[in-house]
Structure 1
Amino acid sequence: MTPEQLSAAVRDVLTAAVDAGDLALPDGVPAQVSVERPRNRDHGDYATNVALQLAKKAGTNPRALAELLAARLRQAGGVEAVDIAGPGFLNITVSAAAQGELARVVVEAGESYGRGEALAGTTMNVEFISANPTGPLHLGHVRWAAVGDALARVLEAAGAAVTREFYINDRGAQMDKFGASIMARAHGETVPEDGYHGEYVNDLARVIVAADPGLLERPRDEQLVTFREEGYRLQLAEQQRQLDEFRTHFDVWYSERSLYERGRVEHALDVLRQQGHLFEADGALWMRTTGFGDDKDRVLRRGNGEFTYFAADAAYYVDKRERGFDVCVYLLGADHHGYIGRLKALAACAGDDPEKNIEIPIGQLVKIVQDGQELRLSKRAGTMLTLGQVVEAAGVDALRYSLCRYPADSPLTLDVAQITKQTSDNPVFYVQYAHARLASILRNAAELGIDKGELRPELLDHERESLLLAALAEFPRVVATAAELREPHRVARYLEETASTFHKFYDACRVLPIGDDEATDVHRARIWLVEATKVVVANGLGLLGVDAPDRM
């Protein structure tokens, strides 16, 4: 029996009591009844405080309402006992058969187990990397590449329609500096001091010249355009390749340039003007964001006619909303904390609800330590630590899992040696090993010719079986909560606890017969439970973009 099924049973009891005239609820039976796992299992399998919540509305005291509900709930299918604790808590024990039936539910659901409908009907745009196409992605992008993708996966599992978006900062002076840096290297000249000095610039120059041998003979202004545009194309392709290898895939690669080329900036100004929040002062065009909590009003177009970067921000937000997204999520780094106020105010100026239509999670910095030394980066100086180099040092699984298992708003230091060691105190290894062990048990069962047959759920009555089933039952709720709070790290922590619960079950309960002993229905029921656990661990790892290996 899942928490959702028990919650429905409590609602059915409330409805029956109202229909029978034993209970009066002026506001009707609540749409949801909270059912939780008690910390102390001596208090039953589940607990609910519904009697305390509804007693005042029902014109009675919580204890009396609890007694009324308990008497009816004891008659519900799958409920073994109901006890009343304190002022009116209901502690509910379900039968082994009802609890064991969950193994069948999980196995039959397969990859869909854990998915829900809490966000069904909601369209969300999750933008979690915004980068210049002037060099490889670096350490500063690694955390969001993992966490942003995991968040998108969790939101989809909760029913949302999610679009993953990469914002390409391909407009501005840095693009010309990038092109000039490549051109200088192609001519064997010194790169401008404020240009890009990494070895990758040499590589780009060689590739571009090899593809267009006559390039160096053309006028310098033509060369600059070619080096800039070809460098852009090659570097963007490299960023896409690195992210693909990191299992982070974007649905949309959105060009900042396109906002201007397609007239989206002027269109956004028209939209904002119609909302009545633009004004002119000192020859410039401003947005009155202070009316919505920003620390100062923002310039959109300077007196010389040049658009500001904030004008692009405004156009980009308006464009997202006009593309049909209900919620626009901007995952930003620690150095962008000041953007929260201005982006929230921008949403309000566009006529939206800044508490519903836009979210701006801020992620803290991550440090990578190897051999006791912090690995550092500098894109222009050429001592850059790229995403590819970090992946090479730590591996995709270890890096993604380790980045996802902590709240994104907390600073993080990862030691390559710690996150890659093959021991049980390394969380990613511990969880992946649990999956490999589960797969091994199922392989061994198949080799022994043991088919799990028809499940007899009542046989899963050992304490360790009960605890493992309880853990599996919590998975949908964990996923829903992770989506609601935008905290994918909850999935990782759940997996670690579930892996621990499985290992304890395996130590206490013999899954396969010893030697020439015949397989019993108890063995078969435990095979069902093992398969169900394997499904949950694989689904959880999948939400983090981490492999679920069958062998280690």
Structure 2
Amino acid sequence: MTPADLSLTVLHAVRRAVDDGALRVDVPPLVKVERARPGGVGEYASNIALTLARSAGRTALDVAGILEERLRDAPGLQEVAVTGPGFLNFTLRPDAAGELVRAVREAGDAYGNGTALTGTTVRFADLTESRALLVTETVVRLLRSQGADAGFGGDERVHVHPGAYEPDTLGADAARWALLRAAPQDRPLEGPPLLVQHERNSLFRVRYAHSRVRRLLVNAAQLGFGPAYETPVHAPELLGVLGDHPVALLTAARHRAPDRVARHLEATADALLPFQHTVLPLGDEKPSAAHRSRLALAEAAGTVLAGGLSVLGISAPERI
């Protein structure tokens, strides 16, 4: 992990803290990290907590604690420590990216499922309005994925702007995305643009990214190699969103907000699509450990896309 990678990782933690309501600040455009000074802890340090403290209305130590919590399992970090008035100090792991890729590939579509909400019981009111029912059914799946006992037959409600579910005109996938991609309290997306195969169509972009991974695996097999993470791959944005996936699912469950999953899938697709061009050998190049490692990372990204779409009840086609 380079200093630039670490800066992105800390920035992701700030963004997650803002997204889940733990911090009320404007997310900075970048986070400065530098080599730890003599006598310091770890290899790198950042004063980001001190920078955000005033606008957050909290002490720097409070802000540092919030960020440390969200950095504990970040790819590439062996340890995060808070020192002095609120400095974050980082010790790097030598093979954190490899561990992340292997974890995703081993868990498959279940990657991101957890036990954070075990012991929580949630019962939603029985519903008839189509969008409210669709959103609530998806929230139930999200809650269960995090260990909660969730279902219907109670009185809790997700506050939803009404919207028609139109699978007959849009198809089931586009009809679901139109209602789930917008925040529950916002108007649904317009349906017809979701049928256009263009990068401006967020649903197409996510499903196309997944299909590209499936094609890469086929093409690699034809060239005589398969995925295996053997050597470090420089792809901080892609590794960052893969590491964020469990947090995205948990946050979506806690906030009753499936749109957070959809937005995370868009971020994953946006990180994957430029990366995919580096995966296969070019010209007379022979497959190498670097190609096998990039293919393993791409496969992990495809797994996250398929799993997230499944949570939303949307298919992940092999080809588009």
Instruction: Compute the TM-score of the two structures, normalised by the length of structure 1.
Output: 0.44
Aligned-partner SS, 1:524? helix
Q: CA deviation at 1:526?
A: 0.6
Q: CA deviation at 1:48?
A: 9.3
Match of 1:402 among 165, 178, 182: 178
Which amino acid in structure 1 is aligned with residue 288 of structure 2?
Answer: T
Match of 1:475 among 218, 234, 245: 245
Which amino acid in structure 1 is aligned with residue 104 of structure 2?
Answer: V
CA separation in 1, counterparts of 2:135 and 2:185? 11
2:282 corresponds in structure 1 to: 514
CA separation in 2, counterparts of 1:38 and 1:540? 27
Contact 2:121 2:148 in 1 (8 A): yes
Q: CA deviation at 1:497?
A: 1.1
Aligned-partner SS, 2:299? helix
CA separation in 1, counterparts of 2:238 and 2:185? 31
- The alignment status of 1:365 with 2:140, answered yes or no, reads no
- The alignment status of 1:40 with 2:38, answered yes or no, reads no
Contact 2:174 2:203 in 1 (8 A): yes
Q: CA deviation at 1:466?
A: 1.8
CA separation in 2, counterparts of 1:128 and 1:450? 51
Contact 1:511 1:527 in 2 (8 A): yes
- The alignment status of 1:459 with 2:232, answered yes or no, reads yes
Larger radius of gyration: 1
Change in CA separation of 1:415 and 1:111 when aligned onto 2, cut-off 3 Å: closer
Contact 1:364 1:410 in 2 (8 A): yes
Aligned pairs, number: 274
The CA RMSD measured in Å over matched residues stands at 3.9
Q: Percent identical across equivalent pairs?
A: 35
Aligned-partner SS, 2:253? helix
1:548 corresponds in structure 2 to: 316
Q: CA deviation at 1:450?
A: 0.5
Which amino acid in structure 1 is aligned with residue 157 of structure 2?
Answer: I
Change in CA separation of 1:39 and 1:154 when aligned onto 2, cut-off 3 Å: farther
Taking the TM superposition and a 5 Å limit, the aligned residue runs for 1:408-427 are: 408-412=184-188, 414-427=189-202
CA separation in 1, counterparts of 2:76 and 2:264? 26
**Deviation string, structure 1 residues 498-534 (Cα, Å, up to 9, x no partner):** 1101112224xx2111244221100011111011101
1:438 corresponds in structure 2 to: 213
Contact 1:38 1:47 in 2 (8 A): no
Where does structure 1 differ by over 4 angstroms across 4 or more consecutive aligned residues?
A: 44-52, 77-87
Q: CA deviation at 1:47?
A: 7.0
Change in CA separation of 1:51 and 1:433 when aligned onto 2, cut-off 3 Å: same
Q: CA deviation at 1:96?
A: 6.0
Taking the TM superposition and a 5 Å limit, the aligned residue runs for 1:106-117 are: 106-117=104-115
- The alignment status of 1:97 with 2:98, answered yes or no, reads no
Which amino acid in structure 1 is aligned with residue 162 of structure 2?
Answer: L
Aligned-partner SS, 1:362? coil
2:117 corresponds in structure 1 to: 119
Contact 1:100 1:469 in 2 (8 A): no
Runs of 5+ consecutive residues of structure 2 not aligned to the other structure: 10-22, 35-43, 52-59, 69-74
Aligned-partner SS, 1:366? coil
Which amino acid in structure 2 is aligned with residue 398 of structure 1?
Answer: A
Change in CA separation of 1:46 and 1:119 when aligned onto 2, cut-off 3 Å: farther
Contact 1:46 1:93 in 2 (8 A): no
1:161 corresponds in structure 2 to: 149
- Structure in which a larger fraction of residues adopt strand: 1
Contact 1:143 1:403 in 2 (8 A): yes
Contact 2:45 2:87 in 1 (8 A): no
Change in CA separation of 1:484 and 1:451 when aligned onto 2, cut-off 3 Å: same
2:86 corresponds in structure 1 to: 88
Change in CA separation of 1:520 and 1:534 when aligned onto 2, cut-off 3 Å: same
Instruction: Compute the TM-score of the two structures, normalised by the length of structure 2.
Output: 0.73
Change in CA separation of 1:362 and 1:392 when aligned onto 2, cut-off 3 Å: same
CA separation in 2, counterparts of 1:125 and 1:119? 14
- The alignment status of 1:524 with 2:292, answered yes or no, reads yes
1:29 corresponds in structure 2 to: none
Change in CA separation of 1:48 and 1:160 when aligned onto 2, cut-off 3 Å: farther
Aligned-partner SS, 1:125? strand
Runs of 5+ consecutive residues of structure 1 not aligned to the other structure: 7-33, 53-60, 70-76, 131-140, 166-319, 321-327, 331-358, 368-386
Contact 2:125 2:157 in 1 (8 A): no
Change in CA separation of 1:487 and 1:157 when aligned onto 2, cut-off 3 Å: same
Change in CA separation of 1:112 and 1:83 when aligned onto 2, cut-off 3 Å: closer
Q: CA deviation at 1:88?
A: 2.3
**Deviation string, structure 1 residues 459-518 (Cα, Å, up to 9, x no partner):** 21x2xx1221111000000111111111111000111111101112224xx211124422
CA separation in 1, counterparts of 2:257 and 2:190? 23
Taking the TM superposition and a 5 Å limit, the aligned residue runs for 1:149-548 are: 149-163=137-151, 165=152, 320=153, 328=154, 330=155, 359-366=156-163, 390-412=166-188, 414-453=189-228, 455-456=229-230, 458-460=231-233, 462=234, 465-507=235-277, 510-548=278-316
Q: CA deviation at 1:79?
A: 4.6
Q: CA deviation at 1:148?
A: 1.6
Which amino acid in structure 2 is aligned with residue 396 of structure 1?
Answer: A
CA separation in 2, counterparts of 1:402 and 1:520? 42
Change in CA separation of 1:48 and 1:432 when aligned onto 2, cut-off 3 Å: farther
**Deviation string, structure 1 residues 394-443 (Cα, Å, up to 9, x no partner):** 1100010121011212233x433212111111111111111111111111
Q: Which moved more, 1:468-477 or 1:103-112?
A: 103-112
- The alignment status of 1:143 with 2:150, answered yes or no, reads no
Change in CA separation of 1:505 and 1:78 when aligned onto 2, cut-off 3 Å: closer
Change in CA separation of 1:38 and 1:474 when aligned onto 2, cut-off 3 Å: farther
**Deviation string, structure 1 residues 182-231 (Cα, Å, up to 9, x no partner):** xxxxxxxxxxxxxxxxxxxxxxxxxxxxxxxxxxxxxxxxxxxxxxxxxx
